Amino acid sequence: MVARDLLGRYLVRELPEGRIIARLVETEAYAGPHDRASHAFGGRRTPRNESMYLAGGRAYVYRIYGIHFCLNVVTGGEGEGIAVLLRGAEVIAGESLVRARRAGPIPTHRLLSGPGNLTRGLGVDVALDGAHLDQGELRLIFGEPLAAGTAGEIVVGPRVGCESAGDAATWPLRFAIGGHAAVSRPPVAFRFSASRGGYVPP
C-alpha cells in the first residue's frame, strides 16, 4: 500500500525564501471509484478533482471549508482516481520559513500536524494542483522506505472526517508513525498525553 510506504519519506518545498524539508508521519488513502469517502467515488470527474485522475506522482490540491487546503499525492495510474492525503509531517529543515507562515507560539511538533496545517506551513495552495512531484517547487523524495523498528511502529486506523461514507468509513486506510508527536489524531490504540509530551499507547 502506497500510503504506508510514504511514511518516513521526505517532502521538499522550494520557496523564494529558501527550502523546507518535511518528513511524512501521517497519511490517508483514498481508493478510487468504489471508495465512498473519496472525491472520485462513482468515477465522478469535475474540474476540481480532475487532477486526481492524472498518472501517479502528481499533486491533487483542493480547498476545504473555504479556509484550508489539502494536499494529496496521486498514486494510481492515469484515469484511476487513486490518491493519498498527506495529513501530517515533521519539520526537518527550514523551520523558520514554516513559522513565518504560521502565527503564534506553536510547538515544533505541531507545525505541520493536520492536513490544513501542513499546507499552510509549506505554503501549498491550488497553484500546485496537478504539479509534478518529482521536479519543481514541491517534490517528494522516494529514498529509503521506513525501516521497521528504527523510526517507530506504523499504526493503522479509520480515516478522519469520513463518518458518513458508509462501510468505507471503517476501512483501515489511515497510516501513521506510532506515537509520533506530529500525528494529528492518533489512530486506534494511541491517545494524546500532554503530561508525557505526545501520543502514548494505552
Positions in the binding site for DNA (CB under 7 A): 28, 30, 37-40, 44, 46-49, 52, 60, 62-68, 70, 72, 83, 85, 102, 104, 106, 114-118, 159-162, 164, 184, 192, 194-195
- Residue whose CB is less far from DNA, 19 or 44: 44
CB of 75 to DNA, least distance (A): 11
Q: How big is the chain by its Cα radius of gyration, in Å?
A: 16
- Residue whose CB is less far from DNA, 16 or 104: 104
- Residue whose CB is less far from DNA, 19 or 102: 102
CB of 144 to DNA, least distance (A): 26
How many CB atoms sit inside 10 A of residue 149's CB? 7
> Dihedrals φ, ψ of 159, to 5°?
-75, 160
- Residue whose CB is less far from DNA, 9 or 174: 174
Q: Which three cell numbers stand for residue 154?
A: 506504523
DSSP 104-153: S---GGGTTBSHHHHHHHHT--GGGTT-BSSSSSEEEE--SPPPTTTS--
CB of 110 to DNA, least distance (A): 7
